[in-house]
Amino acid sequence: MAERPDSVATLATINVPTLLIAGGDDSIPLSEFELMRQQISGSRLQVISQAGHYAALEKPAEFGGLLRKFFDGLPQR
């Protein structure tokens, strides 16, 4: 992973509703998630406290609730 090229520049090309979910105790610094949020237009960042990198497995109910709220808020097509 460390040898992969930086893809921050491609984040600005994302043009769909985007929810970023991070664990408050993630090994990836929250500043990295915030950078992604800033680069993806209209994106949102939610942080699950007391969860690490596998927040979906560590706190499935909270993770699922965030997804449900996000999807329910999308416009119907």
Given a contact cutoff of 8 angstroms between Cβ atoms, the answer to whether 46 and 20 are in contact is: yes
> Is 0.85 surpassed by the pTM of this model?
yes
Residues in Cβ contact with 9 at an 8 Å cutoff, skipping those fewer than 6 apart: none
> Cα–Cα distance between 61 and 11 in angstroms, integer?
28
Q: Note the pLDDT tens digit of each residue in 31-53.
A: 999 999 999 999 999 999 999 99
* Largest interatomic CA distance in the chain: 40
